[in-house]
Structure 1
Amino acid sequence: MHKLFILTGPTASGKSEVSKIVAERLGCTIINCDSKQIYQYVPTITDQAEYLRTSPQFRLYGYVHPSNSYSVGLWLEDAKREILLAWEKKSPAIVVGGSGLYISSLIYGLSEIPPADAHVRQKARALLSEVGNDKFFELLLRRDANVGKIDRRNSNQLLRAFEVFESTGVSIFSWRERCPKKRPFENCEVCVLFPPKEELHPKINSRLVDMINSSAVAEVEYLMSLNLPADAPIMKAIGVREVIEYLRGNISLPEAVEAAQRNTRQYAKRQYTWLRRQLPQDAQFLPTREEMVQHLVSRLTETEK
């Protein structure tokens, strides 16, 4: 039986660099599990190194147009296809990224909840944009008391709960009880690159400076030209809102960089918490890139014998 390897960890921990080294040594197929690195035309703001987008060993990077409607369900189907293709070619598969919802769907599966039609999705987004998260949460809570389980800051979960209730008249939580999850792959091994926080912060800060000094501003100008809704997934990428504020003249460029650095550090903090609490008990946590490379090479070599 094939074993699927999942490499995750907080932002800026070095997951892509580790995957590149392992892929070069063993000829692995690397499948993206970052919800922002799926997008085209924004490689700098989403930290897509050129090899991620051009090497045939790296899959699902930079392949979705920013204006396209995309979901974790669509990603899961794309990921399953790429994993099975890799195995058909006798290539070990490693899924790499830090997006919690994508990782969770791959490990535990998704409930088969009916999709909302385009009209309902548009209505939900328009309402959220008009009233904001707090008011949207309160309005939804009046219709579905279970919504209290959702973090009101999580726009994606709020929108999905609204769409399901609006389309079916049934709470998304009731659907999850009716339709238990089915694991896409039974044989998964989760590896977590987990450096100390104090080591991560300088890397986050320098990465944001490098992004701004490169083409991040031009990429955000391009996104603005598409007139995407504020809650479009790519518009939530860290750095986008901050650069928009700069381009609108509301803050200076150094202030935009500082805000993006701060928001990235806060995002990393949430990732640390999620990774500790939501992964299988046998997940392997390692603090350095070197240790992770050695571990993955060893485990992949063992399983391919």
Structure 2
Amino acid sequence: MTSQRRAVLIAGPTASGKSALALERAQANGGVIINADAMQVYDTLRIVTARPSVEDEALAEHCLYGAVPAAERFSTGQWVRAAQAVLGDVDPTRELIFVGGTGLYFEALTNGFADVPEISPELTLEVQQEIQALGEPERMALLEAEDPATAQRLKVADPQRVTRAIAVKRATGRALSSFQDDQQPGLLEGWLVERMVLSPDRDVLRERIALRFETMFASGAVEEVEALLSMHLDPSLPVMKAIGVREISDWLDGVHSRDEAITLATIATHQYAKRQRTWFRNRMGDWPRFGLEGAAL
């Protein structure tokens, strides 16, 4: 009889100690660490995106870190397919440790994912501009005209959902609801899954975030951003929106002082961590909570 495959899911806001906990677990159990962070999939920005160091990667097998060129757009659907390939390649007796801060990735692992095609930023912006002056009744009327099936499922026509639905319909010719109806089971269905969300004290997290950017500036983040800027990439690419890129770029251009750049990057990271906490609270509220680097709460 084949034993049940095992996976550990370690989610949490940035700077909460996820990578350290994952490495500790992998070394103890011979597990494989799989990246579940949307920014850490890209190359070029190891330090800026807080990817595991070369030294840490040598201590345990790591997958899907720095695997995508910065010039590409890597969708959630592409990550799901890449993770599925890892599941097929790894020895089934080894524990898989998924670690990161991207909630959609964990949702795809546990609940399944509707693989909606990537929509161009230009089309999304076009729709946003089209509806920005509309009130809720007018937005609903527009959605009903373009995608009545999805409109029937919305209780409130908020701008974000209406923009998404209309953009998908215009880009693909299919209703967003039809993609949602095609949602596949979670990748880990049938597995023995251990779930955890790291949720350290906010003040402790703020101190760690501030220290992180001081360290980044001193250990190669500036050189990484310079290398990225030398590629002259499309500013709308995901990698160009990584926290720290704009702040360091502005410092290099003389717009901000070094201290101002660190402060702005720290503030942006606090805001990002707050959004992550909100996602985990709303979508993963039943997952066990742990403190810094997995300490019991």
Within 2, Cα distance between the matches of 1:161 and 1:225? 36
Extract unaligned runs of 5+ from structure 1.
296-305
Alignment check: 8 A CA contact 2:39 2:239 kept: yes
Within 1, Cα distance between the matches of 2:294 and 2:105? 25
Within 1, Cα distance between the matches of 2:222 and 2:143? 41
Shift, 1:125, TM fit: 2.6
Amino acid across the alignment from 2:260: E
SS at match of 2:10: strand
Within 2, Cα distance between the matches of 1:233 and 1:53? 24
Within 2, Cα distance between the matches of 1:10 and 1:178? 30
The reply to whether residue 286 of structure 1 matches residue 282 of structure 2 is: no
Aligned match for 1:225, one of 230, 243, 246: 230
Within 2, Cα distance between the matches of 1:259 and 1:106? 34
Greater fraction helix: 1
Q: How does 1:1-305 map to 2 (within 5 A)?
A: 1-48=4-51, 49-51=53-55, 53-54=57-58, 57-88=61-92, 90-113=93-116, 115=117, 121=119, 124-126=120-122, 135=129, 138=132, 144=143, 148-149=157-158, 151=160, 161=165, 163-172=167-176, 174-186=177-189, 187=191, 188-279=193-284, 281=286, 283-289=287-293, 291=295
Shift, 1:259, TM fit: 0.3
Number of residue pairs matched by the alignment: 276
The normalised TM-score by structure 1 is 0.80
Residues 112 and 59 of structure 1, relative CA distance in 2, 3 Å threshold: closer
Alignment check: 8 A CA contact 1:45 1:239 kept: yes
Alignment check: 8 A CA contact 1:86 1:92 kept: no
Residues 195 and 252 of structure 1, relative CA distance in 2, 3 Å threshold: same
SS at match of 2:240: helix
Within 1, Cα distance between the matches of 2:232 and 2:121? 14
Alignment check: 8 A CA contact 2:143 2:166 kept: no
Within 2, Cα distance between the matches of 1:137 and 1:46? 34
Amino acid across the alignment from 1:287: G
Within 1, Cα distance between the matches of 2:83 and 2:108? 11
1:132-155 CA distance string (max 9 Å, x none): x95266399585365944548xxx
SS at match of 2:121: helix
Alignment check: 8 A CA contact 1:52 1:61 kept: no
Alignment check: 8 A CA contact 2:23 2:60 kept: no
SS at match of 2:9: strand
SS at match of 1:63: coil
1:267-290 CA distance string (max 9 Å, x none): 111111111111162x22111325
Amino acid across the alignment from 1:23: A
SS at match of 1:189: strand
Alignment check: 8 A CA contact 2:222 2:248 kept: yes
The aligned residue for residue 301 of structure 1 is none
Extract unaligned runs of 5+ from structure 2.
145-150
Residues 18 and 167 of structure 1, relative CA distance in 2, 3 Å threshold: same
Within 1, Cα distance between the matches of 2:56 and 2:278? 27
User: How many percent of aligned residue pairs carry the same amino acid?
Assistant: 32
The aligned residue for residue 303 of structure 1 is none
The normalised TM-score by structure 2 is 0.82
Shift, 1:60, TM fit: 0.8
Amino acid across the alignment from 1:109: G
Shift, 1:71, TM fit: 0.8
